[in-house]
Amino acid sequence: MTSKKSKILILGFGTVGQGFFDLFTRKKELLGLQDFSISEIVDMKYGHITNPGRNLVNEIATGRTFQQKDVISTIKESDADIVCEFTWLNLKTAEPAYTHVKTALELGKHVITTNKGPPALKYKELTELARRKGVKFLMKGTVMAGTPSFNLLDLLPGAEVKSVRGIMNGTTNYILTSMEEGKNFSVALKEAQELGYAEADPTNDVDGFDTASKITIISHILGWNHEFGSLKIEGIRNVTPEQAREKTKLIAYADKTSAYVRPTKLARDDILSGVSGVMNAIEIETDTMGKIYSMGPGAGKIQTAQAALTDLVSISRG
Ligand SMILES: NC(=O)c1ccc[n+]([C@@H]2O[C@H](COP(=O)([O-])OP(=O)(O)OC[C@H]3O[C@@H](n4cnc5c(N)ncnc54)[C@H](OP(=O)(O)O)[C@@H]3O)[C@@H](O)[C@H]2O)c1
C-alpha cells in the first residue's frame, strides 16, 4: 500500500457518483484508505464541489447546488491524482467521457471509469496513453458492476483464456425471464420500464449494444481486440415467448477469432440457462481450469460503486 496521500476527483454525481461517495466514506477506514480523500466533484446539475463533507448527499437532496465549473478546466486545475469518470454513456463517440479520460491520463492522473464508452470505443489509445504516463486506467464497473468478471483472471496467473460467454445485461434478461410466462416482448418491456429496469429509450439494452460494449471491453482486455463497430450484434426484439420458455438468452460470446451478441437457445443443463431476472453471469473457459463461472448483479447504485472501490483498492496497492 502506498503511503502517499491521494486525492480523488469525481466527474458526474448521479447514481454511481453518489453511490461511490457513500461507499467510500463508509469503507475507507476498513480498507486502510485513510490517506485517500474525495477532494472535488464536478457535475452538470450540482456544480463544482470542493472538500465535500460527509453530509453532501443529504445536502444536495434538499436542493443545495454549487457554482458551475467546466469539467475540462476542473480536471486541468485539480491537484487530484485519481479521476473517477461517472458521466453519461455515449456508444457512438464516447464523448464527453472520452475527452475527460484522455485529459486526465495526459496529466498523469489514474482513471477509474464505470462508463463503457471510452473503453469500448477507444481502448487501445487510452490504455497506451496510460502506459506511457505510468498510471492506471481501470474499468471494472463497465462489466457486471462489482460482480467479479474479467478481474477473476487476476487470481489465475498464467491461465490462458479460450473463450468468454455470458449474460451481461440485466434488463434484457429480466424481459426474457418474464416472457417465459407467456408475455410478448412489448408487454414485458413495458413492465421492465415501469419497474425502472429499462430506460424510456431501451435501444442500447434491447438491441444488444450495451452487451456488445461489454464483450468488446473483455475482448480488448484479453488482447483479442475485437472492435465494437465490427461485432455481429442482434438484440431480443424478435424473440417469441415460446423461444424464451425454451431458454433463449441474450448471449455475448468472444474467443480469439470471433465475437458476437445474439439470442441463443441454451441447453437445460447449461449453467447460464438458470440465470434469471436481472442477474448477470459469465463463463470463462481457460486452459488450466476448464470453465469457471461468476454470477451476480450487473448494475445498481452500490453494486456499481463496489466496482469503482475495487479499482481504487487496486490503485492503492500500486
Ligand atoms: N447505474 C448503474 O447501475 C450503472 C451500472 C454500470 C455502469 N453505469 C455507467 O456509469 C455511468 C454513470 O451512471 P449513472 O447511473 O450514475 O448515471 P446518472 O445517474 O445519469 O448520472 C450521471 C451524472 O453525470 C452528470 N453528467 C453527465 N454528463 C456530464 C458532463 N459532461 N459534465 C458533468 N456532469 C455530467 C449528470 O448530470 P445531469 O443529471 O444534469 O444529467 C448526472 O448527474 C454511466 O456511463 C453508466 O452507463 C451505470
The domains located in the chain, with CATH, are 6-146+301-316 (3.40.50.720), 152-297 (3.30.360.10)
Amino acid at 285: E
Question: What is the side-by-side strand order in the sheet with 259-265?
Answer: 232-233, 259-265, 248-255, 161-167, 279-286, 290-297
The ligand 1 atom nearest the CA atom of 17: 16
State residue 3's pLDDT score: 52
State residue 2's pLDDT score: 47
Given ligand 1 and candidates 60, 67, 114, 211, which is best to mutate, with the most ligand atoms within 8 Å of its CB? 114
Pick the closest to residue 215 from 270, 125, 171, 149 (CA basis). 149
Which stretches of the chain score pLDDT less than 50? 1-2
Give the Å distance between the CA of 86 and the centre of ligand 1.
5
Residues 159-173 pLDDT 10s: 999 999 999 999 999
State residue 192's pLDDT score: 96
15 lines ligand 1 (CB under 6 A): yes
Pick the closest to residue 100 from 125, 72, 60, 73 (CA basis). 72
**Residue 181 corresponds to which cell in the numbers above?**
410466462
162 included as an active-site residue? no
Half-sphere exposure of 23 (CA within 13 A, CB side): 20
Catalytic-labelled residue, pool 109, 116, 214, 247 = 214
d(C-alpha 61, C-alpha 42), whole Å: 16
State residue 4's pLDDT score: 76
